Amino acid sequence: MEDIRSKVNLVAGIGTIGAIIALIGVIMSYTGFPGCVTILDLVAFCCITLVSAASILPNRTKSYALLSIIAGIFGIILAFVIYSIIADTVDAKSFMDVGMGAWMTIGGMILQIIFSISDYRFKSSQ
């Protein structure tokens, strides 16, 4: 019986799930606060999800994981920019006034970065 690690990279798969959660959060922010999130933000998070999904196959080198880390760092910076734009637009009094989409974006990107770093460390040790 073959080992599951030879078929699918589960760590990169969980990181991709985090990127998908972030993409869903951006879509929720886009529909909930029109004008705060642009089409460019949606395209950027779609590209981050695709970069993260590229490292799911186990035969990928550690450069794919490093690219996923860099995309995740860019995504978390963009998520905090989106959060601050929404907070300024709605004149937020507390952290939760920005809606659930911004928090899903931040949480999903943190999940993606953590598992991309884990994937990179695993591939570097081989």
Domain regions of the chain by residue span: 4-125
106 neighbors 79 (Cβ within 8 angstroms): yes
pTM of the predicted model over 0.85: yes
Provide φ and ψ at 92, rounded to 5°: -65, 135
Q: Which helix (H) or strand (E) holds 101?
A: helix 100-125
Tokens 């080992």 label which residue?
3
Share of the chain above pLDDT 90, in %: 69
> Partners of 34 in the beta sheet?
37
Give the residue among 81, 61, 78 at the shortest CA–CA distance from 113.
78
Per-residue pLDDT tens over the stretch 12-55: 999 999 999 999 999 999 999 988 999 999 999 999 999 999 98
pLDDT bucket at 5, cuts 50 / 70 / 90? low
Per-residue pLDDT tens over the stretch 100-109: 999 999 999 9
